Copies of this chain bind each other. A is one copy, B any other.
């Protein structure tokens, strides 16, 4: 399908998570999707280089170009820029589309480790959904490094994704993409229901960041070890 990826980019580079948008874009092209990478303006070096390296299915443009192009969209911008990026993309280009929100509301303004600019009783994902009610926001992939997002087998043993969103059909579509194109086993994608659960998954970042700091690398992920229900 045609996919727009917003954020070319150096999302979370200071955390070592690297180039999320490019990594997702490359993985999606490899699976036969047509991908347009969107940035603040068309013709940015990162986007041009990426498109040149990834064949006929890969292209680049502005946020609005990518959003108009995609039947499904990924928000891979930095959390602090996400709302502005989606406004640039334009509500009409988001309407009716599944928008996978990969971003985190990290606030580096108070030093390291970052805090969250929104949380507890709200989330970045809900902020975006409120601003663009016609988009079908699904929070996913925000709790791990991008090389694991598109290659769960790179980390031995079980580890999990979390997914939530108010549109059950949209969650199902994203689950399909995660399993088919990125190689996730369905049972390793935990469906947390409504988009307000993004409060819980964005809240994992403070732990992620501290572990990244103490380990010195990002080759790790959360796993929920879930046993059987205890006998009454």
Contact = CB atoms under 8 A, between A and B. Distances in A.
Interface of A: 110, 115-116, 119-121, 147, 154-159, 162, 190, 192-193, 197, 199-201, 203-204, 206-207, 209-211, 214-217, 219-230
A212 to B, nearest CB: 11
Contacts of A193: 210, 214
The majority secondary structure among interface residues of chain A is mixed
A23 to B, nearest CB: 14
A115 B120 contact: yes
Could you say how many copies of this chain the assembly holds?
Answer: 2
Nearest to A228: B219
Nearest to A226: B220
Contacts of A156: 227
B215 A206 contact: no
A120 B121 contact: no
Nearest 4 CB-CB pairings of A with B: A200-B206, A200-B207, A219-B227, A217-B229
Nearest to A218: B230
Contacts of A197: 210
B227 A220 contact: yes
A117 to B, nearest CB: 9
B219 A192 contact: no
Contacts of A190: 211
A63 to B, nearest CB: 29
A47 to B, nearest CB: 25
Contacts of A115: 120-121, 199
A189 B223 CA distance: 15
User: Residue among A119, A207, A224 with the most chain B CB within 10 A?
Assistant: A207
A119 B199 CA distance: 12
Contacts of A120: 115-116, 119-120, 206
Contacts of A226: 211, 215, 219-220
